[in-house]
Structure 1
Amino acid sequence: MKILFISPRFSGGIGGHAKRVADKLNEYGYEVKLMKTTHIPIKKLKNPSFAAFSSLRAIIQNEKFDIVHAFNFPSAFAMKYTKAKKKVLSIHGIYSDQVQSLHSNVTAKAVSSNELKVLKWADKLTTDSKAVKESYKKKLGIDLEFLYAPLDTKKFEKIKDVSKKENQIAFIGRDSYEKGIDILKNIESRLNGNVVYCTDLDWENTMSILKSSSVLVVPSRMESIPQVIKEAFYLKIPVIATNVGGIPELITNEENGLLVEPENSTQLIETINNLLSDKDKARKIGQAGYNFVIKNLTWEVLLPKYTNFYENLLKEN
């Protein structure tokens, strides 16, 4: 099977997910290519320039594919013009809501008014979050297929043993509003530990820092399902995260993690400090997270669901 993946980038977030899926499918015997397209490196021009440049590339390329799989809204435009039997678009989060929180009302209205039209270009829509699936059904009356983003546990063989840093708090994610990094920075002086911010490190260094930490804090204002929570689970690092998006699909409060309300600084401070002082609770939560990810989220569990998805899609009329 010949598949083209399209994404604004193939690292971090949904782009990193796309790269991991492509690598695994290639190992399995599929032929998966990545469309890598430049963009204008200015915040408000990144996505529009990527959509334009990738669409032009799709129009002029002669290569044909069994399936073109686009990841996130800006990739849909190139997907539309790619020559393929079937077209797939994956959405991690409610795109119009994300735009509304980060851009002007004019931009948000333009995206919102065209969102349904663009989504209908795909033969199949997917998401990694039940919350996103339910939101799109309620908001636009459309159905998305739910596929968890798997964790490749073999990659962790590269992570060396590290010494634990007493009361080290890890933040891993973009330095952006939706990730809530400002919330954590504002309460840092009231925490009984040292915060390490991993915003622009390679994956191996980031995982080494996470492995040496006492807790991972995810203070996001909006999310789909953060891959870093699964990574912390695998490393048996307890997670404190906000009760937003798809996070509660991973974390059962007080069992395999701790949930706090978004932008509630007082609750976040108390939860972090209490966990740092309760090593036995931290250990039990870390072990429960590991058990959850091994049972539900590895490639061994999820690869058949991905291959069945692509095979069945090609069989549809």
Structure 2
Amino acid sequence: MKVLHIAEANGGVEKYLEMLLKNTTDYKNVLICSNLFSEIQSEKQYSLDFSRTLSPIRNIKIIKKIRSIIKIENPDIVFCHSTFAGIWGRIALIGLHKKVVYNPHGWAFDMDTSNIKKSIFTIIERMFSVVTDKYMMISEYEYQSAKRHHITNANKLSIVMNAVDEGALLDDANVNLNSDVIEMLEDKFVIGMVGRIDLQKGPDIFIKMANIVKKDIPNAYFVIVGDGKMKNEITRLADENKLSDSLLITGWVNNTAMYIKQFDISILLSRWEGFGLVLAEYMFLNKPIISTNVGAITNLINDSRSGILIESEDYESAAKVVKNLYTNQDQRQQLANNGLKYANENLTVEKFISNYRDFIEEL
């Protein structure tokens, strides 16, 4: 069985594919991906310049290249991952008589954007359902959202819950950070987030929260593990709030676990979220979580049991929860233990791969 995957977005999608392909080596896995991806275990990996663009000529060139690779590889099944790859890939596949699966990794119409854009994304997804054999949802929220927006027939929709390769994650956590970073965080109460520094992940909300927390917790230290187009804006916001001496922005790192290991509280203040894979990583690393009551996060976090949920944009409530947890170590540990229990029962790679194989066989 040859399975070809097309993926444009790095970050969570890249981690997802790294886990999937590593654990399905009995299939012939081929990957067409962004040149920003690292090398992923597969039979063959094609790295293309997948820069997002509105240029029709540029998009046509990308589609032609994808189509030519599909013809060369002649796969049995093609998976398209996330919005842009879903559009390019499904256009490229028209007339090639392949089984086509779309995995949105968070619907574009669920983003925090204008109603006009949401309507356009909804119409586009409905159009492409005609050339899609199956949809593989990564969460219950994503599944229900597809039904609410009448994207396709319900019999085309399946849920294969996302997961974390917990063994690899724990191995990564055992790697020591640079001694300079360890010294910087020593004797600090570390509040951290992992994610792209862009609007979706709420890094600006994180900094506004940090500004309040720092006034009451002098030894608080804030870590953002990631990079992105808002980095300069976030750095400037931190400077304005006199947080520069209490903030570390790591940039892109391959091993996020060694930073998470240092967190006393783990944060994800997303404005929208198709899954929130890093929440599962926080859980497996036994960290208390504060996150937002949006999207699929509500499928993962049982509020006040396996984490604390606040409303999106509410940095004041986030700061209040941080301060409360700072003074209550028992509650922090209880939240972390409940999260770990949930992850071990629902988010293991073994369960994910078993469900994925069932999906493939049914297809």
Query: Same-fold call, TM > 0.5?
Result: yes
| CA shift digits 1:63-121 (9 cap, x unpaired) | 311100110121123234344531100012221343x62xx887665434322102332
Inter-partner Cα distance in structure 2 for 1:232 and 1:50: 39
What amino acid sits opposite 2:90 in the alignment?
M
**What does residue range 54-73 of structure 1 map to in structure 2 within 5 Å?**
54-61=62-69, 62=71, 63-73=73-83
**Contact 2:4–2:79 (8 Å) recurs in 1:** yes
**Contact 1:3–1:67 (8 Å) recurs in 2:** yes
What amino acid sits opposite 2:17 in the alignment?
A
Inter-partner Cα distance in structure 2 for 1:302 and 1:24: 10
The 3 A distance-change label for structure 1 pair 212 and 88 is same
Give SS of 1:149's match: coil
The 3 A distance-change label for structure 1 pair 161 and 4 is closer
Deviation of residue 8 (structure 1)? 0.5
The 3 A distance-change label for structure 1 pair 47 and 33 is farther
Inter-partner Cα distance in structure 2 for 1:249 and 1:275: 23
1:303 aligns with 2:353: yes
What amino acid sits opposite 1:201 in the alignment?
W
1:133 aligns with 2:155: no
State the partner residue of 2:277. Answer: 227
Inter-partner Cα distance in structure 1 for 2:307 and 2:55: 34
Give TM-score, length-normalised by structure 2: 0.77
Unaligned runs of 5+ in 1: none
State the partner residue of 1:194. Answer: 221
What amino acid sits opposite 1:159 in the alignment?
A
Give SS of 1:19's match: helix
Deviation of residue 46 (structure 1)? 8.2
Inter-partner Cα distance in structure 1 for 2:281 and 2:119: 36
| CA shift digits 1:143-186 (9 cap, x unpaired) | 32111112101212132266785320111111111111111112
**What does residue range 184-263 of structure 1 map to in structure 2 within 5 Å?**
184-191=206-213, 192=217, 193-199=220-226, 200-204=251-255, 206-263=256-313
Deviation of residue 48 (structure 1)? 7.6
1:15 aligns with 2:18: no
State the partner residue of 2:174. Answer: 160
The 3 A distance-change label for structure 1 pair 80 and 310 is farther
Give SS of 2:357's match: helix
**Contact 2:202–2:271 (8 Å) recurs in 1:** yes
**Contact 1:47–1:74 (8 Å) recurs in 2:** no
1:151 aligns with 2:171: no
What amino acid sits opposite 1:122 in the alignment?
T
What amino acid sits opposite 2:66 in the alignment?
A
The 3 A distance-change label for structure 1 pair 89 and 40 is closer
Give SS of 1:3's match: strand
**Contact 1:15–1:71 (8 Å) recurs in 2:** no
Q: Which of residues 276, 293, 297 in structure 1 aligns to 2:343?
A: 293
Give SS of 1:158's match: helix
State the partner residue of 2:205. Answer: 183
The 3 A distance-change label for structure 1 pair 68 and 239 is same
| Greater relative contact order structure (CA < 8 Å, 6+ sep) | 2
State the partner residue of 2:37. Answer: none
What amino acid sits opposite 1:198 in the alignment?
V
What amino acid sits opposite 2:194 in the alignment?
I
**Contact 1:96–1:115 (8 Å) recurs in 2:** no
| CA shift digits 1:27-55 (9 cap, x unpaired) | xx1111101353364xx628988854442
Inter-partner Cα distance in structure 2 for 1:303 and 1:50: 36
What amino acid sits opposite 2:82 in the alignment?
N
Give TM-score, length-normalised by structure 1: 0.88
Unaligned runs of 5+ in 2: 34-46, 177-181, 227-250
Give SS of 2:131's match: coil
State the partner residue of 1:117. Answer: 127
State the partner residue of 1:87. Answer: 100
Inter-partner Cα distance in structure 1 for 2:54 and 2:307: 35
Inter-partner Cα distance in structure 2 for 1:161 and 1:181: 26
The 3 A distance-change label for structure 1 pair 109 and 295 is closer
Inter-partner Cα distance in structure 2 for 1:47 and 1:188: 40
| CA shift digits 1:187-211 (9 cap, x unpaired) | 312113211011133231x211111
Inter-partner Cα distance in structure 2 for 1:70 and 1:177: 24
